[in-house]
Amino acid sequence: MEQTATAEEADTRSRVSLTFGREMSTAEVESMKRSLGARTALQVPPAVDAAYARARQIGFAKSSCPETGALMSVLAAAAPAGGRILELGTGVGVGIAWIVHGLRGRTDVEVVSVENDPRKSALASGARWPEGVNLVVGEAKEVLPSLGSYDLIFLDVPGGLKASLLDGAITALKPGGQLLIDDMKPYWSKRAPHRPPGERDPERLLGDPRVTCALLRYASGMILATRLPA
Ligand SMILES: C[S@@+](CC[C@H](N)C(=O)[O-])C[C@H]1O[C@@H](n2cnc3c(N)ncnc32)[C@H](O)[C@@H]1O
Mean pLDDT by 10 residues, the chain (230 residues): 39 57 78 81 88 95 94 98 98 98 96 98 96 97 98 93 92 98 79 55 81 91 94
From residue 95, give the alpha-carbon distance in Å to each of 52, 72, 101: 10, 7, 10
Residue 109 has a CB neighbour count (10 Å cut-off) of 23
Given this model, what pLDDT does residue 40 score? 79
Given this model, what pLDDT does residue 14 score? 45
Q: Among the atoms of ligand 1, which is closest to the Cα of residue 117?
A: 25
Q: How far apart are CA 11 and CA 5, in angstroms?
A: 10
Q: How far apart are CA 82 and CA 141, in angstroms?
A: 25
From residue 14, give the alpha-carbon distance in Å to each of 7, 17, 37, 80, 91: 11, 9, 8, 39, 31
Given this model, what pLDDT does residue 6 score? 43
- Helical packing angle, 46-57 and 118-125, nearest 10°: 150
Given this model, what pLDDT does residue 5 score? 38
Distance 15 CA to ligand 1 centre (A): 31
Nearest to 226 by CA among 164, 158, 176, 171: 176
The residue nearest atom 12 of ligand 1, judged by CA position, is 89
Given this model, what pLDDT does residue 8 score? 46
Q: Is the CB of residue 218 less than 8 Å from the CB of residue 194? A: no
Given this model, what pLDDT does residue 195 score? 57
Given this model, what pLDDT does residue 93 score? 98
Length of the chain: 230
Given this model, what pLDDT does residue 204 score? 75
Q: How far apart are CA 63 and CA 145, in angstroms?
A: 25
The pick from 62, 68, 119, 155 for probing ligand 1's pocket by mutation, whose C-beta has the most ligand atoms within 8 angstroms, reads 62
The residue nearest atom 27 of ligand 1, judged by CA position, is 91
Give residue ranges with CB within 6 A of ligand 1: 62-64, 87, 89, 91, 94-95, 114-117, 120, 139-140, 156-158, 161
Distance 93 CA to ligand 1 centre (A): 10
Q: How far is CA 69 from the centre of its chain?
A: 5
Distance 120 CA to ligand 1 centre (A): 9
Q: Among the atoms of ligand 1, which is closest to the Cα of residue 87?
A: 6
Where do the domains of the chain lie, and which CATH numbers do they carry? 1-43 (no CATH), 62-227 (3.40.50.150)
Q: Is the CB of residue 142 less than 8 Å from the CB of residue 157? A: no
Distance 108 CA to ligand 1 centre (A): 25
Given this model, what pLDDT does residue 15 score? 56
Residue 159 has a CB neighbour count (10 Å cut-off) of 13
